[in-house]
Amino acid sequence: MRTAWITLAILSGLNLLNYLDRYVMSAVLTPMQKELHLSDGDGGWIASAFMLGYFISAPLFGYLGDRFPRKYLMLGGVLVWSAATACSGLAGSFAELFAIRIFVGFGEACFVTMGPSWISDLFATPGRNTAITIFYVAVPVGSAIGFTIGGLFAQQGDWRHAFIYAGLPGILFALSLLLLREPRRGESDGLEGKGIEPPRAKALEVLGLLRNGRYQLLVWGYTAQTFSIGAFGIWGPTFLNRVHGLSLGSASTIFGMMLAGAGLVATLLGGLVATYLHKRTPAGYVWVMAASLVAALPVCFFALTVGNTTLSLIGLGASMFFLFLPSGPITSEILEIVPVHLRASGVALATFMIHLFGDWSSPTIVGHVSDWTHSLQKGVLILPLVLMIGAILWSLLIRLTSKPILVVP
């Protein structure tokens, strides 16, 4: 069991670097736009370039992750995203930066689709959600560090070194994967701890997940949540700068601190509450998911419309808290729905859908609405509406969760 926790610590550390590299761009968006002469729409497209590489490659890595050793695939993914992040600081045009950010997404998709399935093979059901929750604690912490590092460089107008210093540590830390023993698929689900080797996943089985009503409601609600988080993750510091007059450095630092504090507490608390509820009802994970979006909806709308800066910051912090509350339960619920031999594919398919229909387009949509209306505040107001859709879908999911799971091959 000690080995399992060491492995979890290393995978969580890499996941922290994953989100650090992903969100450092948000903090340096303004000086980057200025030097490369980018409009808000262009800035949104740069963010979408990452998602393009991310969601297009996710199904491929899910397929590979259910068939081949994950350790070496994940090692390659970390090296690719880290090197591409560092190279982002060398870009001299919109086209170059767009192409490089695609490779960042490509590398991160490899790691993210396989990480949860590896963890699920280390931890049996009673402790699996706790382990997954710890893995996702890295999301707010890594994102916050990215905002903070980027904010420090943004104050000097130096966006290039922010990318370089963010990307280089991952190249070294990736080698820690070579020290780990990869568990057999289904090992934690075997009798008396003995591993089982489930059948190989078939393409028709993976596509059959799309005929599973429970999986569909989960993923489309997840898409709505991802749409909103992705857009504001990119435009958040710029919103505070333009609408509330905070300096870019202060906006990035404050946004990062709120993200770290609210996200860390919410991710841990959401995981603990979901584990407690899941012992009492099969819908325990989903109750946390649905309640989080129901609570986030009015708070988010208030934060984006109130004129007082202090109240807006309080509202933003509360919004982050509720949006990060279901971080662990979402993936745990996916792992509950899909069979053992489809876990990487199930996560990968969800990853493909939430990014294709979620945060691939949301930063660009917000950016274009901002350009058209000459108001970033009007651009971000589409986000509470999308959260309402997610809240409805996850509320419907509660009713299905107690029914038998059906995966149609």
In angstroms, the CA 224 to CA 236 distance is: 18
pTM (global) more than 0.75: no
- Reported as a pLDDT band with limits 50, 70 and 90, residue 192 is very low
Q: What is the mean pLDDT of residues 198-223?
A: 77
Asked whether 379 and 366 are in contact (CB, 8 A), the reply is: yes
Residue 195 lies in a domain: no
Residue 167 in any domain: the answer is yes
Instruction: Answer whether residue 264 is part of any domain.
Output: yes
User: Do the domain assignments include residue 158?
Assistant: yes
Task: Say whether pLDDT at 406 is over 70.
Answer: no
Handedness of CA 160, 165, 167, 172 (dihedral sign): positive
How many percent of the chain have pLDDT more than 70? 92
Closest to 341 in 3D by CA, of 168, 214, 216, 208: 208
| pLDDT for 120 | 84
Q: Where are the alpha helices (DSSP H) in 338-401?
A: 343-354, 362-373, 376-380, 382-401
List pLDDT tens digits, range 231-248. 887 788 888 888 898 887
pLDDT at 261: 84
Picking from 19, 21, 134, the residue whose alpha carbon sits closest to that of residue 82 is: 21
Return the CATH number at 67.
1.20.1250.20
Residue type, 370: S
CA distances from 337 to 223, 233, 316, 397, 402 (A): 17, 29, 32, 12, 11
Q: How confident is the model at residue 190 (pLDDT cuts 50, 70, 90)?
A: low
Q: Where is pLDDT greater, at 204 or 18?
A: 18
Cα four-point dihedral sign 310, 313, 315, 318: negative
d(CA 256, CA 209): 36
Count of domains forming the chain: 1
For residues 155 and 225, which has the higher predicted lDDT (pLDDT)?
225
Q: Let me know if 278 is exposed, middle or buried by CB neighbors in 10 A (0-12, 13-18, 19+).
A: buried
Q: pLDDT tens-digit profile of 1-10?
A: 678 889 999 9
Lowest mean pLDDT among 128-132, 268-272, 314-318: 128-132
pLDDT at 407: 39
pLDDT given at position 314 = 93
pLDDT of residue 229: 87
Contact by Cβ (8 Å): 208, 114: no
| Whole-number pLDDT of residue 403 | 54
Over residues 262-285, the pLDDT tens digits come to: 888 998 899 889 988 988 888 889
Q: Residue 190: inside a domain, yes or no?
A: no
pLDDT band for position 321 (cuts 50, 70, 90): very high
Considering 183-187, 252-256, 364-368, the range whose residues carry the highest mean pLDDT is 364-368
Q: Which range is least confidently modeled, 73-87, 154-168, 329-343?
A: 329-343
pLDDT band at 404 (very low <50, low <70, confident <90, very high): very low
Query: Is 33 inside a domain boundary?
Result: yes
Q: How far apart are CA 322 and CA 326, in angstroms?
A: 8
Q: Determine the average pLDDT of the residues in 175-184.
A: 86
Q: What is the mean pLDDT of the chain?
A: 84
Task: Give the contacts of 346 (CB within 8 A, at least 6 positions apart).
Answer: 62, 206, 209, 215, 334, 335, 337, 338
In-domain check, residue 174: yes
pLDDT in tens, 66-85: 778 888 999 999 999 999 99
**Backbone region of residue 374 per phi and psi (left: phi > 0; alpha: psi in -120 to 50; beta: other values):** left
Give the closest residue to 147 by CA, choosing from 304, 22, 264, 267: 22
**Cα separation of 287 and 329, whole Å?**
10
> Average pLDDT in the 367-395 region?
91
Identify the band that residue 196 occupies on the pLDDT scale cut at 50, 70 and 90: very low
User: Is 192 part of any domain?
Assistant: no
Span 108-114, average pLDDT: 87
Q: Which pLDDT does position 327 carry in this prediction?
A: 86
From first CA to last CA, the distance across the chain in angstroms is: 34
Domain of residue 153 covers: 2-181+200-401
pLDDT value of position 113? 83
* Burial of residue 402, with CB atoms counted within 10 A of its CB: 0-12 exposed, 13-18 middle, 19 or more buried: exposed
Q: Residue type at 237? A: P
Distance CA 384, CA 163 (A): 31
pLDDT tens string 12-62 = 999 999 888 887 887 788 888 888 888 887 887 887 788 788 878 888 887
Which pLDDT score is estimated for 305?
93
Contact status, residue 162 vs residue 89, Cβ threshold 8 Å: yes
